Structure 1
């Protein structure tokens, strides 16, 4: 029996012989020690790889306090690393335990998200392209181009002028032409956003949104459509900061944008991120109340475009 904990509160108890931990995720687990007194292997193996090299295993030993029997025998191989249906089924089984009293994500009490009103939906597709003769990763066929001026500095001093154009690229459709650009999209302050993350790659992907936890409401095959919403779990979805997106499939999450700022939405795979699979979500509130967002200090370091160096 394994009790899984995510994001500070417990999910329902589920019997597991193995647990998929995807890029950027972590768990706390309680293992029921109900076996004969001995030592036992605990093995971590990679997913979506042919396991022929034992050096790719992570091997630990679970030691019963009064055990005098060393570990022995072959290592457990675990489930088929290419069994996506098994992995998806496990992901869907991890749900919030609504009977547990523990710290809750903001807004308070919003485990059940069936009655929230969505303010916007982003449909984002991750893929690859060759741009200016170089291989790139893209979001909606746009590979993120890091500007010389930090986005928040440009936002604060010149409202982004000359550094980025807000909502220049679509968050609901794919560009016809592959290109590089400073992809910054508007997020509605204190609005609920639905993020539909497509994975057009041949390998597993993983997405993270800075500044927020999000409710993982669904996984699906192929292309998402409005009809896919009928498959969502809106009753007890688990809250994560990173969600896996299976190859040639989609994952959907809800997030409440109550945190003003300029937030990075990206692949957690370093190669994908470095080569352009990211964008920024600008959550803006005109209220200058420092309780919402503290102003920049007077001695802020200035850099980048010349017009951003002028006070």
Structure 2
């Protein structure tokens, strides 16, 4: 009997050791958010810093890492961070949008806790409150592959993050005041690349990155801007596209890439040119004005000699949106890569799944009470004091919002209809396979993002969508991603399975449109109320609005 007891204790200890060793690693970060003064355009202006850095620090993680970020808000107003493209499986509590989280009050802190899962690729984080995004608070977030999951290219010599975006010299409070008064914020003042605008002919500029002759480097390029699509190129070099928005791609070569708002691309660049300095260039697209930022890449001379300055001949940007549409059509998912793929309902074979619901979303705009508003299908979203997810979880949604304030198929005259203002929530059935049509009736390009999911963009075409257009869909190797552009007077179709329970934001990436109502939330409820489908409300989550003092509902169980 004693020997059996000892054996039982030994096996229990070994099991405990295995469980401890099997737990995925944790990465801990403490971030202090504060105001600071920098001069990216030569004029001092107030920006938002994270740990005194602009842009903020990179998060360098590996698949399945648990990310713990303790954010201290040292601003004089509420603040919130969101994680662009990170899916937060079963965990919209960590999404960092005003429909799911209370903003962090001034002088307080909040700790985000989420797992990056198998979503190898390039992402970024940003402030989702007000117009904070216009003045900083953003940074890169990369998810590297575990050793067990090989990537479809050799390890690069180094890995660089390039954050590009348009920039305003006005403060975020001035921009917010302008939008609140009913006016557009107008065109930006400049383009920044990793916080700098650069200058051609600036032979004394410090390099942003260095390369050794003959070596290959990975560049992760993200458009973190407010309003403008950008074209990115590297003087004298071709770029091999290997990943976008967390998915490996067929490895085509490009001279330049259109990077639309909210998108991230990874390219491989080989230092195969004459050793000297070279410009990276980011310039505006689809605008009547031209703004350009440059950053220097410096070849490191193996002999320690001084390299030459960059050529002043900046490679030109492409012209017209048809060029960009053709580039979109060249993107293909790498179906042979050994990497994680969406698997619920076998959705990596998305072309073989029957569509259960079609939702057509048409962007509109108009004047409401003398002020400019943007809308989707005639509904302009307005945030409530109580986050929508909180109201739903505590069983009081009717006191905060109504479901399905828009119809799935708006009438052709939607753009002329009256715009309603209020919380905008679309109800979705768990695990439905859905077709979403984003229709752009305007002269400018649009960019859309969906939190909590990757989707399959199967078509972008000029004109208006009709069911007959499905015969042109790419039902084999559309790149799984979370952001999609829609060209002027065109439409885009995306397919996805609503298999991630939670409350998820679908929004315009053009931030004045987002701020003035061009967004909605999609409520995906699991009928089982099970931890297998959705996590319980975190113990540290701040509550606000009408649920602040309500008792918490009974937690979900397996």
Query: Could you tell me the TM-score, scaled by structure 2's length?
Result: 0.52
What SS does structure 2 have at the residue aligned with 1:19? strand
Q: Give me the CA root mean square deviation.
A: 2.2
Structure 2: give runs of 5+ residues left out of the alignment. Answer: 1-237, 552-558
Aligned residues: 305
Aligned residues of 1:38 and 1:68 also touching (Cα < 8 A) = yes
Q: CA deviation at 1:60?
A: 2.1
Match of 2:166 in 1: none
Separation (CA, whole Å) in 1 of partners of 2:307 and 2:541: 62
What SS does structure 2 have at the residue aligned with 1:89? helix
Separation (CA, whole Å) in 1 of partners of 2:358 and 2:346: 23
Of residues 297, 304, 308, the one that matches 1:62 is 297
Separation (CA, whole Å) in 2 of partners of 1:309 and 1:223: 49
Bigger relative CO (Cα 8 Å, ≥ 6 apart): 1
Superposed CA offset, 1:23-54 (max 9, x none): 000111002333334332221111112455xx
Of 8-17 and 297-306, the range deviating more from structure 2: 297-306
Separation (CA, whole Å) in 2 of partners of 1:218 and 1:73: 39
What SS does structure 2 have at the residue aligned with 1:217? strand
Aligned residues of 2:247 and 2:480 also touching (Cα < 8 A) = no
What SS does structure 2 have at the residue aligned with 1:271? helix
Match of 1:261 in 2: 502
What SS does structure 1 have at the residue aligned with 2:470? helix
The question of 1:192 aligning with 2:463 is answered: no
Q: CA deviation at 1:108?
A: 8.1
Match of 1:76 in 2: 315
Q: CA deviation at 1:297?
A: 5.2
Q: CA deviation at 1:65?
A: 2.9
The question of 1:48 aligning with 2:279 is answered: no
Taking a change above 3 Å as real, the CA distance of residues 88 and 171 of structure 1, as seen in their structure-2 partners, is: same
Structure 1: give runs of 5+ residues left out of the alignment. Answer: none
Separation (CA, whole Å) in 1 of partners of 2:539 and 2:279: 57
Taking a change above 3 Å as real, the CA distance of residues 88 and 300 of structure 1, as seen in their structure-2 partners, is: closer
The question of 1:32 aligning with 2:270 is answered: yes
What SS does structure 2 have at the residue aligned with 1:177? coil
Taking a change above 3 Å as real, the CA distance of residues 18 and 301 of structure 1, as seen in their structure-2 partners, is: closer
Superposed CA offset, 1:220-253 (max 9, x none): 1121111111111111000111111112211111
Separation (CA, whole Å) in 1 of partners of 2:345 and 2:497: 11
Match of 1:177 in 2: 418
What SS does structure 2 have at the residue aligned with 1:171? coil
Of 276-285 and 104-113, the range deviating more from structure 2: 104-113
Separation (CA, whole Å) in 1 of partners of 2:540 and 2:296: 53
Match of 2:257 in 1: 19
Separation (CA, whole Å) in 2 of partners of 1:194 and 1:93: 22
Separation (CA, whole Å) in 2 of partners of 1:59 and 1:115: 45
Superposed CA offset, 1:152-188 (max 9, x none): 1211223511222212321321553221132211112
Query: Could you tell me the TM-score, scaled by structure 1's length?
Result: 0.90
Aligned residues of 2:402 and 2:425 also touching (Cα < 8 A) = yes
Aligned residues of 1:2 and 1:13 also touching (Cα < 8 A) = no
Q: CA deviation at 1:309?
A: 5.0
Match of 2:371 in 1: 134
Separation (CA, whole Å) in 1 of partners of 2:384 and 2:313: 52
Of residues 122, 132, 136, the one that matches 2:359 is 122
- Structure with larger Rg: 2
Aligned residues of 1:3 and 1:11 also touching (Cα < 8 A) = no
Q: CA deviation at 1:76?
A: 1.8
Q: CA deviation at 1:217?
A: 0.8
